[in-house]
Amino acid sequence: MTTRKLMKKASKHQEDLAARDFGLAMAGKPSSYRSAPYAVAASPSQARDARKITGLAQPAFAMAIGASPATIRSWEQGQKRPDGVASKMLRLLLRHPKLIKELERDLVLIGGPRSKTA
């Protein structure tokens, strides 16, 4: 078997393992998605719980994670679902709510929000 075929087979095997781990069948689905095809979007309750467990209001939570308050509101109301990195961040915050302090600290270190009166 050629190296190219081995690499393709190994890549397919890794994709299959990832799909199995996340409980999604990959048969017949294209491999190029906006986010990883095996990433599962967080639910509205997970988005709400992640924010509430940190003790922040929607605007402060949005600023800390780099989203808009409207985005947070749409996640919590179920109008949109966070995907990719946002879903993973919400799941991490559910498990480790103190991480929000690190995100807030990073926001302060980079200068915080820009004022409109400059």
pLDDT in tens, 22-58: 454 444 455 544 445 455 778 888 899 999 999 999 9
| Residue 62 pLDDT class (50, 70, 90 cuts) | very high
Per-residue confidence (pLDDT) for residue 61, from 0 to 100:
92
Q: Does residue 86 contact residue 65 with C-beta atoms inside 8 Å?
A: yes
DSSP alpha helices (H): ranges in 22-76?
44-54, 58-65, 69-76
Percent of the chain with pLDDT over 70: 57
CA dist., res. 82 & res. 77, Å (int): 12
Q: The tokens 């179920």 sit on which residue?
A: 78
Percent of the chain with pLDDT over 90: 27
Question: Mean pLDDT lowest for which of 6-15, 22-31, 40-49, 103-112?
Answer: 22-31
Q: 115 to each of 22, 33, 61, 118, how far by Cα in Å?
A: 42, 36, 18, 7
